[in-house]
Each structure stands twice: as structure tokens, then as C-alpha cells.
Amino acid sequence: MSRLIELREKQARLISEARERLDEIKADTTEARAKELETAHDAAMAEHDRIGALIEREEKLAAAEKRIADARAARRPGAGDNHSADAGDETAKAPEYRDAFFAMLKAGGDLSELSPEMRALLRQGASEFRVQSTSNAAGGYTVPTTVAALVIKSMAAWGPMYDPGVCTEIVTGGGESIKLPTVNDTSVTAIANTEGSALTDSGAKDVTFGQKSLDAFSFDTEFVRWSWQLAQDSIINMEQLLADLLGERLGRIANSQLTTGTGSSAPNGIVTAASAGKISASATAITSDEVIDLQHSVDPAYRASPKCRFMFHDTTLQAIRKLKDGQNNYLWQMGDVRSGAPATLLGNPYLVNQAMDSIAANKKVIVFGDFGKYFVRKVGAPVIGVLRERFWPDLGIAGLIRFDGELGDTAAVKYLKTSNT
């Protein structure tokens, strides 16, 4: 816990340093000095984000270590266990690396068959001492080559739109079309009534209904095949690794489609479906006034929703962090790093979505509004399947997903678009 507190305090210091750099930029600051200060600000914020990723990993690691400790405690014999050694018995011999290595071979490379102690020994590697050297002919042929039981995976954030709780989620067992009735009566008012006169019955005030549809579009990863020799020989559980990677591929396509899907034989992405809120004056930059204008282009009824938020690309967030309002206050607020409270923009939470465009000419770079009005329809859960007969003796794995997305009320979410010139 002290490690997490230390990291969060460092984040707070970086925020203070970054803001000091921007505050030094005045009207009479030279262009070169202003550029130097902005570069220092960006470096501090990059370090802030790096530490944020470390905090997330530390929290996950702490949770994993707790699960392992709990599992070991559950397996440890109690004081009254008849398997516990008597006081005069010899203490059971702890496993050595060679024991773990041969146990792994016996299990066909499946590390799940090994005890946690043996898996830990394999990760540490061999630490045996020999009289002869470890060169090949002098004894090196007897030294096993150890491969870490993990794979370093390159990472890229792919966005939040498929996550439960971000939008309104509808999960169904089948893929039949779901119809969503809509009505917009916000521009219609009542009229003055004259005493003794008949009520008007012209039909001009009749309510007009509409309809949106949620279908079930299918996406797949294609088959990935691997040999039976690799399945037997690899220290990595190849089936589990491939399943994880294909699951991430399904997550990427879902986020991309729910963000910028065309709505034609595909989900209607939230950026595509949103209505215009603000057009920036520049093709390559946005201002604080324009972000405020976007926020107020959405009716206060939607802004009161607990799911009201901003969403943009990470490079857009970088630009927003430097913006101030007319009272010289930053639009972006760090939040409470000690309690883990999230950062906000103009008092609203925000989402970073790498499927959105960065700031460039004629791009929708920010969306804002009530994400609860965007419906994500999921048919069951994503499926990862392994075929053991079709490709025999090799194996094949593939992933499938079915979903759709639609903005039920286009007034609820609006976008800020950059100028096309």
C-alpha cells in the first residue's frame, strides 16, 4: 500500500510541475521559451500517465499475490492434520529446480499441473553449481535451457465502448432484431386557452413517434492454427495465450465499430450517430471556449445524467490538458490521487478512446453527452473455440462476436469537429 501511496504522491507532484510550466507562459514570453515550457509540460504529463499505468499494474499484482497466498493457506495442513510431521520426523525436502523441470516435462509442458512452488522455481531459472564448467562438452549438454513461462505482449489501448456500464447494455440470448420506439416532443408546447372557446383539434399538436433498430452483426478473428508439436513442446500454454490474444482482437473490433461504425450493415458508432455541437475555428487546434461551447450545446437535462461524459483520443487529451478558461483555470482537473478519484474535464468524467481521430482538419475529435442514450446490444458473450479434429493432428482456434450499437436520441450526444480549412 505504501508503494501505491508513493506513486500517487509522485503523480500529484508531476501535475504541480506541469502546471507551473504552463503558468510561466505569458503574453511577453518568447516563442522559443514557450516551446521549451510546453515540452517540459508534455514530458511531465507523459510521466504522470506512465505512473498511472504502474499504479494499475501494482494493484493487479497485489490482488494476484493475495489470491496465491489465500490458495496456499487453504492447502497448508492445520495443526491437527494427521499428515503434519511429528516433532521428531525429518522435515520434508523442498523441491529443487531439477525436480520442477522434470515435472514440467512429465506434464507435457502444462504448467497448470505443477505446484505453485515448482512454477516459481521455473521462473527463477536454474541455480545449480557444478565442478565441471557449463560449456557444452564439459557438462553444458546436461544443463536445461529455461524459457520464462510468460510471453511479453506488446500493448495498445483499444477503448471503452464495449465495457459494461459505459453505455446502456442489452444482452440477449438470440440475434433477433430489437425495435426501440423513440419520441421527441421537446419543441411542442401548450397554447393559451380562451374562456368559453372550443379546444383546437387540428392535429398539429399530435405526438410523432420514431423507431430505432438494434440488430446483431457478426465479426470473427479467422482461424489461427498451431502444430501439435508446438502444443507439446512449448513451455507456454499456447491455447490459453492464443485465446487471450484473440479475445483482445474481438475487443478491438467491438470498440472500433461502436465508436465509428457506419450504421450501414454495421453498428452505428456513437461518433457517427452524434449530432453537431461545435465547429472549431482552426483545422489543427481547439480552444477552451470551443470545448465549453460543446458542453453547453447539450441540453442540461442530459448533462445531469450520471453517464454524461466526454470522449476523445489520447493526443486530444494531451492538448486539452494545456487549456485554461477565462478565469485562468485549467479545464482538466487531476482528481484526488490519494483516494483514486478520477480526473475530470469541466467537472465531467472523460473516456480515452484510441479509435477516435486525433486533431486534424475536418475531424470529429471530441464527443460529449449522455452515453446512457447509446445502446449496445450484445448477443450472449464473445466465443473462443478450439477445433482439435478438423486440423488434426494440428489445432485451430478462432473467436466470434455478435453485437450492435445505436444512439437512441441524437440530441443526447454531440461532437466537436475541426474546421476543414
Q: Please provide the size of the chain in residues.
A: 421
pLDDT of residue 326: 82
DSSP state letter for 167: S
pLDDT tens track for 198-228: 888 888 888 989 999 999 999 999 999 999 8
pLDDT of residue 203: 85
pLDDT of residue 159: 77
298 contacts 367 by C-beta, under 8 angstroms? no
Residue, of 416 and 98, whose pLDDT is higher: 416
pLDDT, average across residues 339-346 = 82
Q: Of the ranges 49-63, 72-86, 106-120, 346-360, which one carries the lowest mean pLDDT score?
A: 72-86
DSSP bridge partners of 375 = 168, 406
Distance of CA 162 to the CA centre of its chain: 9
The radius of gyration of the chain's CA atoms, rounded to the nearest angstrom, is: 29
Residues 85 and 79: their CA atoms lie apart, in Å, by: 10
Which sequence spans correspond to the domains of the chain?
1-73, 97-142, 151-187+209-421
Percent of the chain with pLDDT over 90: 43
β-pairing, 413-417 vs 275-279, is parallel
261 contacts 267 by C-beta, under 8 angstroms? yes
- Most confident listed range (78-82, 93-97, 177-181, 359-363): 359-363
**Residue 172 CB neighbours (<10 A):** 14
pLDDT of residue 84: 41
Q: Is the pLDDT of residue 272 over 90?
A: yes
pLDDT of residue 294: 97
Residues 267 and 180: their CA atoms lie apart, in Å, by: 15
Q: Is the pLDDT of residue 75 over 70?
A: no
Residues 337 and 23: their CA atoms lie apart, in Å, by: 22
CATH of region 151-187+209-421: 3.30.2400.10
pLDDT tens track for 226-247: 998 888 888 888 888 899 999 9
pLDDT of residue 55: 81
SS3 call for 13: helix
pLDDT of residue 399: 92
Residues 231 and 388: their CA atoms lie apart, in Å, by: 12
Q: How far is CA 127 from CA 105, 144, 207, 235, 392, in A?
A: 19, 11, 80, 19, 39
